[in-house]
Amino acid sequence: MSLAAAAAAISSATNIAITTHINPDGDGVGAALALNRTLRAMGKQVRLLFPSTVASHLDFLPGFKRIAVLDSEAKARRVKPAELLISVDCGDLARLGAVAALRRNKLLNIDHHSSNDRFGDCNLVDPAAACTTIMVHKLLKRCGAAIDTATADCLYTGLVFDTGRFMHSNTSATVFRFAATLMGYGIDAAAINRKLTYTMSPALLKAQKLAIERLTVDTTKPSIAGMAFSQRDIAKLGEIDDWGELIEIPRSLRGVEVAYFLREHGDCVRCSLRSNPPYAVGTVASALGGGGHAQAAGCTVPGTLASVKRELLARLRQIV
């Protein structure tokens, strides 16, 4: 889609709101905060309106404290819609939660999910991009914006997150070139890596311990492994604001090609899925009402932990 149209949408708006998907990750937050910082420097009025809270380990990023959480329709209703709402790293309107209600005026959708349904008035969607921040960088350059070190920190956070620290199959020459470009803006990559990777809350460490205890290899297809946490397990762990990494535990087991992680949440189960190429869990997530990428996807399925696990495993066995 047109970079020029996206740049025009930004240049013609003075009052802008920026948002990302529910349970935002390093890419969504990085993309939003990079836009926030740069558009402010360009003289725009910018608000960061997110549908849910952000993992506290990202609090080192500039603008983090400006993020307002609109996690209910009542809260969203009290907010004045902006001239332009920019959504980053989000595949569809439903994933914007209560913030979707602020879609009154123009909506610019910047995303790289292949499942993106072009819900914006202007859609900058590139499934070939490894992360949204790589697209945001291109757009900011197109707008003639100056990128400072703190903005590059945000962009790098998205890159590190969505490439699994340069380890996922989307880690291309373009990705390394982008990393080099960001180094050129003066970022301290090692310091950011440390904050993103080696900083963990006690609750998350406890969750890792439980994940290892619960890890189950599928008896029918031993290349599938994963674990399930009940609501009671989750309550015992304490506050965890980033569940994303736990799925790497079953995935890291030798011989495993497809990993799953299930979390009971009310009368639904949240499913995270990962696979090694050529296996594609994205199709399974889509079939169950979710979305994401071919090798990293997720869905929320109504039902009990046992029933959802049964259905999910039946589908995963079909793809390996």
Strands (E), the chain: 15-20, 45-50, 67-69, 84-88, 106-111, 122-125, 216-217, 224-229, 258-265, 268-275, 291-292, 296-302
Please state, in angstroms and rounded to a whole number, the distance separating the CA atoms of residues 102 and 77.
8
The least distance separating Mn ion from the CB of residue 47, rounded to whole angstroms, comes to 22
Question: CB-wise, 110 or 145, nearer to Mn ion?
Answer: 110
Q: Binding to Mn ion by residue 126, rule CB under 5 A?
A: no
- Whether residue 125 contacts residue 21, with contact meaning beta carbons closer than 8 Å, is answered with no
The least distance separating Mn ion from the CB of residue 24, rounded to whole angstroms, comes to 10
The least distance separating Mn ion from the CB of residue 129, rounded to whole angstroms, comes to 9
Question: CB-wise, 116 or 223, nearer to Mn ion?
Answer: 116
H helices present in 85-184, as ranges: 132-142, 149-162, 173-184
- The stretch near Mn ion (CB under 5 A) out of 35-43, 132-140, 196-204, 296-304 is 132-140
Question: CB-wise, 91 or 308, nearer to Mn ion?
Answer: 91
- The stretch near Mn ion (CB under 5 A) out of 21-29, 70-78, 183-191, 309-317 is 21-29
Query: Closest Cα partner for 272 from 23, 28, 30, 53?
Result: 23
Q: Binding to Mn ion by residue 162, rule CB under 5 A?
A: yes
Please state, in angstroms and rounded to a whole number, the distance separating the CA atoms of residues 169 and 277.
8
Question: CB-wise, 76 or 131, nearer to Mn ion?
Answer: 131
127 CB neighbour count, 10 Å cutoff: 12
Please state, in angstroms and rounded to a whole number, the distance separating the CA atoms of residues 114 and 220.
30
**Which residue's beta carbon is nearest to the bound Mn ion?**
27
Q: Which residues have a Cβ under 8 Å from the Cβ of 153 and sit 6 or more positions away? A: 60, 61, 62, 187, 192
- Whether residue 46 contacts residue 67, with contact meaning beta carbons closer than 8 Å, is answered with no
- Whether residue 23 contacts residue 52, with contact meaning beta carbons closer than 8 Å, is answered with yes
H/E segment holding residue 65: none
- Determine which residue in the list 23, 35, 86, 89 makes contact with Mn ion, applying CB under 5 A: 89
Question: CB-wise, 67 or 131, nearer to Mn ion?
Answer: 131
- The stretch near Mn ion (CB under 5 A) out of 131-139, 143-151, 218-226, 272-280 is 131-139
- Here's the x/- map for Mn ion, 38-77, by CB under 5 A: it reads as ----------------------------------------
- The stretch near Mn ion (CB under 5 A) out of 15-23, 83-91, 184-192, 261-269 is 83-91
Distances (CA, A) of 106 to 13, 91, 141, 305: 9, 17, 22, 40
The least distance separating Mn ion from the CB of residue 161, rounded to whole angstroms, comes to 7
Q: Binding to Mn ion by residue 27, rule CB under 5 A?
A: yes
Please state, in angstroms and rounded to a whole number, the distance separating the CA atoms of residues 290 and 312.
12
The least distance separating Mn ion from the CB of residue 290, rounded to whole angstroms, comes to 15
Strands 224-229 and 258-265: parallel
- The stretch near Mn ion (CB under 5 A) out of 4-12, 155-163, 202-210, 237-245 is 155-163
For Mn ion, how many residues bind (rule: CB under 5 A)? Answer: 4
The least distance separating Mn ion from the CB of residue 297, rounded to whole angstroms, comes to 12
Question: CB-wise, 132 or 275, nearer to Mn ion?
Answer: 132
Residues of this chain that bind Mn ion (CB under 5 A): 27, 89, 132, 162
